Chain A
Amino acid sequence: MAEAADTETMGHGVAVPARRDFLKILTIASGAIGAGALVWPFIDALNPDADEDAVARPIVNVGGIAENTALSVNWNGQPIFIRKLTAQQIADNQFIVPDTLPDPASYADRVKPGYETFVVVVGLNTGVPCEVIGNDPADARGPFDGWQCPCDGSVYDPLGRVRGGPAPRNLAIPRFTFLDDSQIQFG
């Protein structure tokens, strides 16, 4: 009702907003834009700066990793293993029915689409928290040619899925993305 009083008709029955309505909308809109422009620097200042961001989200070169070996890097204080699979290891693990495993996960769940030869895991046993061994082909990798825990004897396959031992879960997968064929970025 109040709006009807504030509008004029232009003679042919179409209500047009009064000048006051327009000014009100203009004032509120420009005020909102100004407030947003003022608030943004404050919010952005609490974001990590470029230095911290570079440390927190490192880029790792994976082009030089030989087949059947893994590169170990430290990220967020945790050992991260980046392993390049052999064709044999892929063939052995590709078609295992997930439900037969202690912690069901398919091959596709453990790798990134387009980069299926790389497995990236946190190298800490999920039972007794020890660093698992098996990055080097000469290491004692256990019966599945993956990793083995030196502390409680848990056994993992090359995809980092738990296959035996006290460990209840698969090796964790960190947050990362492939930038291209040879670079991955964490975080």
Chain B
Amino acid sequence: MSSKISKPAASPWVETRLPFLASWRAHFTAPVLAPDAPYLGTLPTLITAALVFMAVSGFVLSIHYDPGQGFASLQFIDRDVNNGWLIHAFHETGTTMIFGAVYLSLFRIIYTRAYRAPGEMVWVLGVAQFALLLLVAWLGELLTDGAVSYWSLAGATQAAGNFAGLPGALGAWFFGGPDGPGTLARMAVFHAMLALAIFGIVALHYAARRAITPPAAGRVRVSFHPYYTAQYFVAFVIFALIFAVLVFFAPHLGENRLNLAPANPLAVPVAVTPSWYLLPIIDVAGAFPAPWGGTAAVIARLAVLFALPWLDRSNPAKPGGGLYRVLVVVLAVDLVLLGLVAGAGPSTATTVLTVVFTAYYFLHFLVLTPLVTAMEAK
């Protein structure tokens, strides 16, 4: 390794003006890392790789997608475009993979309490990335122009129209008036633009994580390549294997089946429920009175996540206690149940259960977390 570091640059002219090699050596071949990072530590990198994959498949889809045709346009992609069905399935299942990794990553951070100082900025950026991903995923689902996504968009434009003042103006600016072909074209552009904006947050997230990574403590230190590239390679292969199985055997996993029919402005589907990854966050919107209830519920849900590092009253230097971990697992179960209930469609029972599970979600963050962690801190 030392011989590699002292090797002179192939082109000193380029190297002095754009120090790629020095940067490469500092991050990849210099033995500065501790040798015991867990496999789940590869999740942010896997998410980033999946985002790049989504950008590429989204680019190919955008070449053939016509927002004026909507549903028919996707039929054209599936049936006529060379390998269009495959690219479409890649993009659809890629969303499932990203959200699977994001939810797992969020759970891991809450469970291990890595959000505590000095990890607050990493946590906040991670939640920001999650929030933007939710928005982009919802916009992408609208582009399918199916029976369900049509009414999801109609509901959103109506809700935006009900607001007065600044929120109403923002809604009109974003949606460009009532639902129609023009609105779908806007959603296509916002979907692509905001998806690219996620990469900006990804970059900030990486910088923030690097800033708080402690220097390797022990005597044994390893370089990123080949020590960690081998680990990342294994993680990537497992990720890609799951992805491939889902693409070829369950391309519509977690989708509302009703959305496979074309949009019909005259018939509201039985259940206007989004794909599984949006269920725990977005679907509370329906359970609260319009116009403010639903929007406020979604914003509040993300707000308590942002505030989590400051809701935890424990001493960051001390390890976490067992009771808190039990509560985190209960929270995960609560969210799964919330998703199941929301996906079951509207009825009196599901509305009541949605409110109960949502109430527990806020109870966990606003009451139980400060209480339990403050008890620990004593």
Chain A residues near B (Cβ < 8 Å): 41-42, 44-47, 49-51
Contacts and interface: CB of A to CB of B under 8 A. Distances in A.
Interface stretch (B40-48, B76-84, B277-285): B76-84
Q: Which 10 A-B pairs have the closest CB atoms?
A: A41-B83, A44-B82, A49-B80, A45-B60, A45-B83, A41-B86, A45-B87, A49-B81, A44-B83, A45-B82
Contacts of B82: 41, 44-45, 47, 49
B63 A51 contact: no
A45 B56 contact: no
Contacts of A46: 60, 63
A47 B57 CA distance: 15
Given A42-B56, A49-B80, 5 more contacts: A44-B82, A45-B81, A45-B83, A45-B86, A46-B60
A35 B106 CA distance: 30
A51 B76 CA distance: 11
Nearest to B76: A49
Main secondary structure of the interface of A (DSSP, over half): helix
A47 B64 CA distance: 11
16 contacts: A41-B87, A42-B56, A42-B57, A42-B60, A42-B87, A44-B82, A45-B60, A45-B63, A45-B64, A45-B81, A45-B82, A45-B86, A49-B80, A49-B81, A49-B82, A51-B80
Nearest to B88: A45
In this complex, the interface size class of chain B, counting residues with CB under 8 Å from chain A, is 10 to 19
Interface string B52-70: 0000110010011000000
Among A42, A50, A51, residue most surrounded by chain B Cβ atoms (within 10 Å)? A42
Interface of B: 56-57, 60, 63-64, 80-84, 86-87
B86 to A, nearest CB: 5
Contacts of B87: 41-42, 45
A45 B79 CA distance: 12
A50 B80 CA distance: 7
Contacts, number: 29
A96 to B, nearest CB: 47
Nearest to B84: A45
A50 B82 CA distance: 8
Nearest to B53: A38
A51 B83 CA distance: 14
Contacts of B56: 42
Contacts of A41: 82-83, 86-87
A118 to B, nearest CB: 33
B313 to A, nearest CB: 48
B260 to A, nearest CB: 22
A103 B322 CA distance: 92
A111 B141 CA distance: 55
A50 B60 CA distance: 17
Among A41, A50, A51, residue most surrounded by chain B Cβ atoms (within 10 Å)? A41
Nearest to B63: A46
Among A41, A45, A47, A51, residue most surrounded by chain B Cβ atoms (within 10 Å)? A45
Contacts of A49: 80-82, 84
B231 to A, nearest CB: 15
A41 B82 CA distance: 8
Nearest to B86: A41
Nearest to A42: B60
A41 B88 CA distance: 11
Nearest to B56: A42
Contacts of B84: 45, 49
Among B63, B80, B82, residue most surrounded by chain A Cβ atoms (within 10 Å)? B82
A141 B86 CA distance: 56
A42 B87 CA distance: 7
Contacts of A51: 80
Contacts of B86: 41, 45
A46 B83 CA distance: 9
A71 B64 CA distance: 36
A46 B86 CA distance: 13
A41 B57 CA distance: 10
A44 B84 CA distance: 9
Contacts of A45: 60, 63-64, 81-84, 86-87
A129 to B, nearest CB: 33
Nearest to B3: A2
A112 B112 CA distance: 76
A41 to B, nearest CB: 4
A93 to B, nearest CB: 45
Nearest to A53: B82
